[in-house]
Amino acid sequence: MRVTGPGPGVLSAWWPLALSWLLMGLEMPLIAAVVGRLPDDELMLAAFGGVVFPLALLIESPIIMMLAASTALARDARAWHRLNRSMHVTSALLTAILALLILTPLFELVVVDLLDVPQSVQGPVRTGLIWMLPWTWAIADRRTRQGLLIRFGRKIAVAQGTGIRLVGTTCAIAAFALSGSPGVVVAAGSLSVGVLIEAAWARWAARDLIVGDLASASADDVPSDLGALLRFYTPLALTPMLILAAQPLGTAGMTRMNEAVMSMAVWAPLNGLVFLLRSAGLAYNEVVIAHIDDPGWACALRRFAHKAGLIASALLACISLPWLAGIWFEDVQGLDADLSALGATALWLAIPIPWLTFMQSWCQGRLVAAHRTRAVTISVVCFLVVTGATLAGGVWIGAWSGLVVAVAASTLGNGAQLLWLALAASILPSNEGNPISTSSITGNRTGKTIEAP
């Protein structure tokens, strides 16, 4: 990919973060490939991919945007310590919520009544959630420090940490599998081990920044008190919460449609592939936040997002060809022929998602850099409404597989989210984040683009 002006700088700023997300994206396909070859594979994949992982993601969602917040705000020691304290308090509360879900009647309310999970899957779900208890706090701690590393130009350390995490996860998968542990323990336990290892690396890599660069840095545009910090971060925290609410919402929809257990079993391998190809787009959010105010970067950042997104979607389109999809689901992921056929049927519906993700990151990063975080939350409300309406329509009609409807709902929801983000970015004042017009999301060079001097 070739871009002019600061384009090579865009590539150098993006690739370490993209590599980090790519390595992280390999985790779920690796786990699904191993669990798919263990006893009770369909049951264990349904428990982990359909219930455990979506619920764990939903509970930890308020701290997912700590990476963006730390990248945007961690500019001096005072801002860092306030952000770090907030992270620890939030992580403790979220871990307590997960423990209550496991140990109290909340489990029956959420898993049995709301999600309508089949009885055969309920036991493995509880076991998997127990193994996910350390996950939330470890995610929060490493993302907060990764934002610090990105802010001070140490993106390579982020990719190195994810590589170490993948090695740790792989070793944990092997250890759990060789010990004869159930598939859901192999999946959830190895995820927690990998994230704990990465969090330890991020702490080590950022240790000198906290006592060095931050202590000598000064900033004049970060939230100056706890109230300002909450006004900045609360909309960001709500954003992934609403997005990830679609995960258990998708599970609830699939359990009420045709081929329920099969759909839940294929959901993790399919979602892992889609995440792998959209992960580089998720990494682009922090690149935009860090560089949108650099002179001459706005147009190059937009062009890069558009082209990279098209390439990623084209790769997913190639993999969606029946024979390649069969290789992925059967040979790589270890699914049987029926599950593979179901996954191949649904996969092509996800082709636009990688491009949508890049363009969402382009618009969202600019809004966060301008401290317009409420617009990001509203965009996710659009995502959730469209996703929920599509799932409800699938349940009501009752003619399609739950997996097909869930993938279609995700694609339509992401499209609605991008439209709102583009609209919100187009009306930014000219002195905030080099605003764009809505025409820029299509890569239309004839559209009028407003840029700050």
pLDDT tens profile 89-102: 999 999 999 999 99
pLDDT of amino acid 6: 55
Structure tokens at 322: 């029946």
Q: What is the pLDDT of residue 102?
A: 93
State the Cα–Cα distance between residues 413 and 388, nearest whole angstrom: 9
Query: In angstroms, rounded to a whole number, what is the distance separating the alpha carbons of residues 238 and 63?
Result: 9
**Burial track 42-60 (b if 16+ CB lie within 10 A, e otherwise):** bbbbbbbbbbbbbbbbbbb
**What's the confidence (pLDDT) of residue 429?**
65
What are the residue ranges in the chain where pLDDT is below 70?
Answer: 1-8, 213, 215-230, 240, 243-248, 429-453
Give the separation between CA 371 and CA 433, rounded to whole angstroms: 9
Single out the residue of 175, 197, 210 nearest to residue 80, CA to CA: 210
Instruction: Supply the pLDDT for residue 333.
Output: 81
Q: Domain locations in the chain? A: 7-442
> Could you give the 3-state DSSP secondary structure of residue 358?
helix
Distance CA 362, CA 49 (A): 29
pLDDT of residue 217: 58
Residue 431: predicted pLDDT:
45
pTM equals: 0.72
Are 236 and 64 in contact by the 8 Å Cβ rule? The answer is no
Residue appearing with tokens 């699939």: 254
